[in-house]
Structure 1
Amino acid sequence: MNLKSLLAQSVATSLVIASSSAMAANVTQEQVVEHYADIAHAVFADALTTAKTLDQSIESFLSAPSAAKLEEVKQAWLDSRVPYQQSEVFRFGNAIVDDWEGQLNAWPLDEGLIDYVSADYQYELGNEGANANIVANKQLQIGATTLDVAKLTPQTIADLNEVGGSEANVASGYHAIEFLLWGQDLNGTNAGAGARAYTDFVVGDACTNGNCDRRGEYLKAAAELLIQDLEWMEKQWSADEKGNYREELVNGSAENGLRKMLFGMGSLSLGELAGERMKVALEANSTEDEHDCFSDNTHNSHYYNEQGIYNVYTGIYKRQDGSLLSGPSLNDLVAQKDKQAAKEIQKQFDVTRAQVGQLVTSAETNGQFFDQLIASGNTQGNALVNETIMSLVAQTESIERAAKIVGITNLSPDTADHEF
């Protein structure tokens, strides 16, 4: 996504907000919470749709591997990240999402658990599974435990998550699939992403790096597990399912629902996005702490996290098919209480979205990706990331202001133990 399309989307969204706010007479807290559930369902449904497209692309690739087909699979993976990253705003306020999220999006990971790595591979100290190489071995010895991994099924992969007690042992989810598609990014803070050859999946004499059949089986099983997990979560938010999480949320107190919304927004903005995903990587100048590190897609990952926060505040979500889902929003509730405050809070959201958008522009227009921006000695790049962190902090303050206006006090978004 380039800057021009980002700006066009921002202007279009602002116009929708202006028109919806003008018509939003007497929006109730209950309506806002119910629409929040509608957006969550739409986002997870889109994540499921794009995961299924990814799976189909993987099937096609594995049936006859080629360089062109590998590029198609990579693009399907990149497309699948767009809705998923917008779902993370539902994590922190909803334990059901936060408890589930690790199997789909845990990072950083010690990729030597999964497949071959370079000789100078750096991994978490003390991680006994860091060099297990599931692709090359049908039996693993991790500590005192012997594991049979002869059959690579979705369940096998799920069971290997955090094997040996290490959070760095991530066997499943988007980043495991990303590593299998791109391979390691061996460029450090220089330009370039991972460059795995399609021949790593060619069964027979043309196979590179061995175990091409197993590597393909792993990729397929990981994609199937991703679909299974997303199917479960989509049903948790569906209005057509009985006794699910959505029903519990909308039948509970509206005040509690608003708190979940605002706490999720604030915690993603502050502790997670500003802290874990930017501050940690910047202060350590560490590409190991970069989010989509194998593909160099981190700029988009950050942008769509921010977009997810914006979606919840404005009550507007642009679906994968291009349609707009809009309805009663936090913005409406704030405007009903204090129109001037609503304008000021909206302005801060627009400023922060533009600031995070500069990371996209840096990568896609100027050729400076996030791993280059955080490099030691890149004064300009470091400043850009730091300015984005500070803008996210200011946005969190606006979220807390909005909370007070609608009657939610002592919000205290999660800082993830970071100081800003």
Structure 2
Amino acid sequence: MTRLIATTSALTLCAVSAVAAPAKTDVLTTYANIAEAKYQDSLIAAQTLQSAVNALIANPSDATLNTARAVWIAARVPYQQTEVYRFGNAIVDDWEGKVNAWPLDEGLIDYVDAAYGGPSDENELAALNVIANPSFTLSGETIDASEITPELLAETLHEADGIEANVATGYHAIEFLLWGQDLNGHDAGAGDRPWTDYAQGDDCTGGHCDRRGQYLSAATDLLVSDLEWMATQWAEGGDARVALTENEAAGVGAILTGMGSLSYGEQAGERMRLGLMLNDPEEEHDCFSDNTHNSHYYDGLGIQNVYLGSYTRIDGTPISGASLSDLVTATDPALDAEMKVKLANTMQALGLIKSTAEAGFAYDQMLERGNEGGEALIMGGVNGLVDQTKTIERIVTTLELDQISIEGSDSLDNPNAVFQ
């Protein structure tokens, strides 16, 4: 579902700013430069994760498992700030499912609790457990999975049979392999996979520890190569940068499309409001690790830093330049001020979710039916995101851009449909 934002060709401005408007090409250059930096940071963090995964596989222990988990959480910080580049940039949206698809039927990958169930009419592969099965049948063909490789995951297993829940690659497949299922429901606590799931010989738990290590290694290697590819697309001469700058007005529209769609349909709707309506901890974005509060926060920060044209890299290096904020200021300073205030309000609300979760009130506890405090926290974020989208729509009109489409969500636009 999309929200169509149309513009008028003639506007009467009640005030004229004395601030000179930056060239749109400069605004697009800043946007692309920050994209390149964010994907480079995501790649660097994934390479650090790759080293930690290799250490876990080579020397399984509580220490190496916990290090890999901590590095995975750190790797989410730069990546979540890239999600604002989806929706407006087809090259990102077409690729994103390789690295951040969710939710997933984790039984495709590894052993699961008996309550998880087995194959269903919706997904015959929901409990395939490729780690335990070196050979399986897919669409009538026998698949040799005796060696778990990046190619097997990317070309055969990921979205097998055209089912989106068959997520075999990316951050969340790795997350599941590091934490295991979160069986705590609405109680505190993340997944608790033992380090012995990667041990060799008689110490191995869960069975097939060597294949589990193969899968984890292959998925992490694939994540690194996928991020390396996307960082290249935003470099000088890269396809993403070239596509963005072919038409300046369309490029600015792409920025606002990404901001609005992530704010409204994706984050406020599918990632936050829907989970609250269903009171379902399985609707958490980072459900195995209980890291959802951070994912929401850094998604919001990504929207804010794109508007402001400013980003601080993971090594502390700042990147900034001509921004969408500068462009809006030159036309309507009051509207720019409004946008900045709403972005700040949203970040305050998302920050409160984050700090409260870090203090011990986990996001899946917030989702529990009847928990008024949790509902208030989540709806604070939802309302901030929805409110800032209204101003994004006004900016589209003020800048006299062509019609854009902002992603919607039944949870916001047609709540009754959620329960049908």
TM-score w.r.t. structure 2 length?
A: 0.91
Structure 2 equivalent of residue 148 of structure 1: 144
Is 1:317 aligned to residue 311 of structure 2? yes
Is 2:198 aligned against 1:205?
no
CA contact (8 A) 2:232 2:238 kept: no
Write out per-residue CA displacement over residues 241-271 of structure 1, whole angstroms, 9 at most, x where no aligned residue. Answer: x462212322x11100000000000000000
**Alignment check: 8 A CA contact 1:128 1:164 kept:** no
Among 59, 67, 71, the alignment partner of 1:72 is 67
Residues 127-142 of structure 1: matches in 2 within 5 Å?
A: 127-142=123-138
Name the % identity: 49
- 1:187-198 counterparts in 2 under 5 A? 187-198=184-195
Matches for 1:325-336 after TM superposition, within 5 Å = 325-336=319-330
Q: In the TM superposition, what are the counterparts of 1:335-350 in structure 2 within 5 Å?
A: 335-350=329-344
State the 1:406 CA deviation.
2.1
Task: State which of 372, 377, 382 in structure 2 corresponds to 1:384.
Answer: 377
Residues 44, 148 of structure 1: CA spacing in aligned structure 2 closer, same or farther, 3 A cutoff? same
Partners of 1:321 and 1:24 in 2: how far apart?
A: 33
- Once the two structures are overlaid, the 10-residue window that deviates more, 315-324 or 120-129, is 120-129
How many angstroms apart in 1 are the aligned matches of 2:238 and 2:323?
25
1:104-154 deviation line (CA, Å, top 9, x unaligned): 111000100000000101576521101100111101134534221111111
Q: What SS does structure 2 have at the residue aligned with 1:135?
A: helix
* 4+ residue runs over 6 A deviation: none
User: For 1:15-414, what aligned pairs fall within 5 Å after superposition?
Assistant: 25-121=20-116, 126-142=122-138, 144-159=140-155, 160-239=157-236, 242=237, 244-250=239-245, 252-365=246-359, 367-414=360-407
CA distance in 2 between counterparts of 1:168 and 1:412 reads 26
SS at match of 2:136: strand
Which deviates further from its counterpart, 325-334 or 403-412?
A: 403-412
RCO greater where, 1 or 2, for CA within 8 Å and sep 6 or more?
Answer: 2
Structure 2 counterpart of 1:327, which letter? G
Shift of 1:287: 1.4
Using the TM superposition, give the Cα deviation of residue 405 of structure 1 relative to its aligned residue in structure 2, in angstroms.
Answer: 2.1
Which amino acid counterpart does residue 314 of structure 1 have in structure 2? L
Aligned to 1:11: none
**Contact 1:128 1:142 survives alignment (8 Å):** no
2:418 is matched with none
8 A contact 2:250–2:402 mirrored in 1: no
Q: For 2:308 and 2:128, how far apart are their aligned partners in 1? A: 46
Q: How many residues align?
A: 395
Q: 1:34: Cα distance to partner?
A: 1.2
Task: Report the residue type matching 1:121 in the other structure.
Answer: Y
Paired with 1:23 and 1:54, the residues of 2 have a C-alpha distance of 49
RMSD: 1.7
Structure 2: tracts of 5 or more residues without a match: 1-16, 414-420
Structure 1 residue 56 displacement after superposition: 0.7
Match of 1:146, SS state, is strand
Match for 1:109: what amino acid?
A: L
2: distance between equivalents of 1:122 and 1:138?
21
Deviation of the 1:25 alpha carbon: 4.4
- Name the aligned partner's letter for residue 387 of structure 1: G
SS of 1:413's equivalent in the other structure is strand
Deviation at 1:289, TM superposition (A): 1.3
Query: What is the SS of the residue equivalent to 2:143?
Result: strand
Change (3 A) 1:178 1:243: closer
Structure 2 distance, partners of 1:174, 1:412, is: 28
Q: Which amino acid aligns with 2:395?
A: A
What one-letter code is carried by the residue in structure 1 that aligns with 2:231? E
